[in-house]
Amino acid sequence: MGNEIYSKTDIIQLVKKYGELEFELNQTTLEKRLQEILGFLNESRVQYLLGRQKEKKLGEYFFNNEMNLTKARGAIYQGYDYNYMDAIFLAVLISLFDQSLFKKIRRQSWISNPEQEEKQWIQAFTNKLNRFEAVWSETSRQETWEIVSVNLASIFYKFTLLPAMNAQAKDYQNDLETLLKLYEELPEHHKVAFYNQSMKSRIPKMLERLEDYIELEINDNPNEYHKYKLNKNLVEIDKQFEK
């Protein structure tokens, strides 16, 4: 493992060697876990949280400039150009695959006790990350383990913000739904008047900006775009029936 480039197979070997898994898992199971984790990391909500900002903030600059997670390409299990920081990051996540908070944020499940879940997650990734320090001693690195581990820990911690982001998105959606419900209750002539006064110039522009946003942010994520496209088609069908 002294080379600078890691394949998926190399990462799984790291898990087997340093991950201290609770149960012995076969190669196929570990491969499936890695694939699910990579899919999770490529979701726009996770990408936004981990690497959207370009300032030299702890974790964000590191994720954008020192790690190669979103740029790695290659054959299914050979030739991926993950670097050693990516390899440790992914190996830790595979080792924590069944950890309570990590499982829930992947599935976007309800978290009933976020404070307790956060504490357990911090303890879990801290303990697991420490076990991978041994990888560092295998070869000489320019960065110290202290620098790398602090930055990786900062990225792991950001996962605790995902439930808050989901709640925030729900609040925004509720605001829009409230506006629509109140608008629907207006008499017809007031609907027309209010639309012409406050909405006529804004809604077409907002729809245009939404399309631009979809083009830039979601088109490259097949799962998210498929759901959006399906809903858009349903909206178009409803419009046809309303005519």
Domain boundaries, the chain: 8-162, 186-242
| Cα–Cα distance measured from residue 19 to residue 12, given in angstroms and rounded to the nearest whole number | 9
pLDDT tens per residue, range 2-30: 446 888 899 999 999 999 887 888 899 99
Give the C-alpha separation, 201 to 197, whole Å.
Answer: 9
The yes-or-no verdict on residue 1 having pLDDT over 50 is: no
- Can you tell me which residue has the tokens 């017809």? 188
pLDDT band at 55 (very low <50, low <70, confident <90, very high): very low
The answer, yes or no, to whether residue 242 has pLDDT greater than 70, is no
Mean pLDDT across the chain: 80
- pLDDT tens for 57-84 read 545 677 877 887 766 555 544 446 788 8
Which pLDDT tens digit goes with each residue over 147-194? 888 889 989 998 988 876 566 566 677 778 888 888 888 899 898 898
Give the whole-angstrom CA distance, residue 231 versus residue 205.
20
